Amino acid sequence: MKTRWGVWGSGGIARRRTIPEGIAAADNAELIAVYDVNPEANKEVAAEFNAEACETEEAFLASDCDIIYVATPANTHCEQVLRAAEAGKHVLCEKPLGMVVEEAERMITACRNSGVKLGTAFMMRFQAQHQEALRLVHDGKLGTPVLGRAQLSCWYPPIPGAWRQYPDQSGGGSLMDMGGHCIDLLEMFFGRACRVQCMTGNLVHGYPSEDTAVVLLEFQNGAKGVVDNLFNVPDASSKNRLELYGPKGSILADGTIGQGELGEMIAYLESGDTGYEAKQTRTASGGIAITPDPLNMYRAEVEAFSRAVLDGTEPPVSAEDGLWSQYVLAACYESAKTGSAVAL
């Protein structure tokens, strides 16, 4: 049995990734309707993927879809999710759920009252190497978690109409857009954060959103974290690193954070207490390459949400996960504004 999907906002990430790699490729999903404020682009997507090109929001909401994937600018999410819930549609919403915490809370309440599911599109959780690293962490291969770092950056120059560059449309810049993913990943590995300190700035580009963000995190288990997100580094210069450390070893990765299926991940694990090494000799040998079968994260995300709808179970990345992310991001922006650490 397949779930029937509609896409609200058929351009951008939906057209590039989620429709072709996710919905169209999934075993338990099919695309039946799309809507976008750009009617010509919407017709192109509909023709390419054999779906109905809805001309109005009302026609889209009246379509025969079971699930609506919301992939529009952040400042439209709340109203769209509320309308989808009222129409009896399950919703997978791109992050951030809303512009502020209060919007995310309204969205959750509306979906709960309508008896529909609401999920948050943190697709990087499904990346195959991230899942293998999570297994190693949960199996105690690193020992007590000590430090995690997640870095995601790109070159994002001023572009006319680019809504992420205007906080009144996006909620924020590099921190909101990429930091949400990075913080969510570190919390997947280490558990929830309890305190953050953040610095943001606009060091290269002149648009209103920040192009630079660095976050220090403390997790409830005592581990520490570092997240850095830049809109001002050339793509080829940014390795999008993930680093996880503990007393038994480390997991180091380049290129696993992002939109690709696989990067390079190596685990450096000690079999026992090696004692103190005064010379602190370091060699390139001894690492274990983490090379699971490639798994497209967009397909995995769509199939997982579809299973939750078909089975009547909770989505693996829930609305509450999205709400918590908004709490953390709000605390980060408060810290950047005040210059002080903020407890969660």
Listed by start position, the domains of the chain span: 3-122+298-318, 124-296+327-343
pLDDT of residue 284: 54
Read off the pLDDT of residues 4-33 as tens digits, 9 standing for 90 and up: 999 999 999 999 999 999 999 999 999 999
Task: Please give the single-letter amino acid code of residue 45.
Answer: V
Distance CA 89, CA 155 (A): 36
What pLDDT does residue 228 have? 98
Q: Is the pLDDT reported for residue 326 higher than 90?
A: yes
Q: Specify the amino acid at residue 265.
A: M
Mean pLDDT of the chain: 95
* Kind plus residue range of the DSSP H or E element containing 302: helix 297-311
Taking each helix axis from N to C end, the angle separating 128-138 and 180-190, rounded to the nearest 10 degrees, works out to 30
The DSSP letter of residue 344 is -
Q: Looking at the predicted structure, is the pLDDT value of residue 136 above 60?
A: yes
For 334, residues 6+ apart whose C-beta sits below 8 A from its C-beta are: 342
> What type of residue sits at position 284?
A
What Rg do the C-alpha atoms of the chain give, in angstroms?
21
> Can you tell me the mean pLDDT for 128-148?
97
- What is the pLDDT at residue 275? 57
CATH architecture of 3-122+298-318: 3-Layer(aba) Sandwich (3.40)
CATH code for the domain defined by 124-296+327-343: 3.30.360.10
